[in-house]
Amino acid sequence: MDPVAIVVIVVLLLAVLAGALWFAGRQRRQRLQHRFGPEYERKVAERGDRREAERHLRDVAERRDKLDIRPLPPEARDRYAAEWTQVQATFVDQPGPAVDAADVLVARVMRERGYPVEDFESRAELAATDHPDVVEHYRAAHAIHARNANSTADTEELREAFVHYRALFDVLLRDSASGGDRTS
């Protein structure tokens, strides 16, 4: 075979291989963006390196996929909904303690559903795999909750935190009622 033909074939094969690798990387990125929603861009900005952020998000997705996230039994859903109503009723007279109670209640629901709850960042990352549209609410609520612990959150911020907690709480209970989470 002609040496020029061999070089052309090798160059073409390398171009096809490079194209396939680029396409596979693009597909992985799109799957991560779809699964994590706004959390994807937040993590890229936080890490400052797209590849490192994507590697981290793949690790989070693998951890999540190994978990047994289960729906709440109907009686537990009803009990948690009643507890939320009680916590919400205390907000008018005691907004700070109500936000504290909302934080604890969300963590309890997550624990019962099967999410590890050892630290906030793990809870938020794992929740983002199933609930990318509400994890920003969870992060915002938690930030205000932390300021409340230092007595630097005002009543309007506490109200906002409560609304943010409610967004995740509702999704956790609704997914339990429908029997599943998003695991695409």
- The pLDDT tens digits of the residues spanning 153-183 come to 899 999 999 999 999 999 999 876 655 554 4
In the predicted model, what is the mean pLDDT of residues 127-132? Answer: 90
- The pLDDT tens digits of the residues spanning 26-71 come to 888 888 888 898 889 989 999 999 999 999 999 999 999 999 999 9
- The pLDDT tens digits of the residues spanning 71-98 come to 999 999 999 999 999 999 999 999 999 9
Amino acid in the structure at residue 54 = E
Tell me how far apart the alpha carbons of residues 89 and 98 are, in angstroms, rounded to a whole number.
8
> Vertex 83, ends 38 and 146: CA angle to 5°?
45
Predicted confidence (pLDDT) at residue 7 exceeds the cutoff of 90 = no
Domain boundaries, the chain: 3-66, 74-178
What are 66's two structure tokens? 């190994």
Q: How confident is the model at residue 184 (pLDDT cuts 50, 70, 90)?
A: very low
Give residue 114's region: left, alpha or beta (phi > 0; psi -120 to 50). left
Predicted confidence (pLDDT) at residue 138 exceeds the cutoff of 50 = yes
In sequence order, the 6+-apart residues with CB closer than 8 A to the CB of 102 are: 84, 87, 141, 161, 162, 165, 166, 169
Query: Cβ of 85: how many Cβ atoms within 10 Å?
Result: 9
Higher pLDDT, 178 or 111: 111
Predicted confidence (pLDDT) at residue 117 exceeds the cutoff of 80 = no
Predicted confidence (pLDDT) at residue 118 exceeds the cutoff of 90 = no
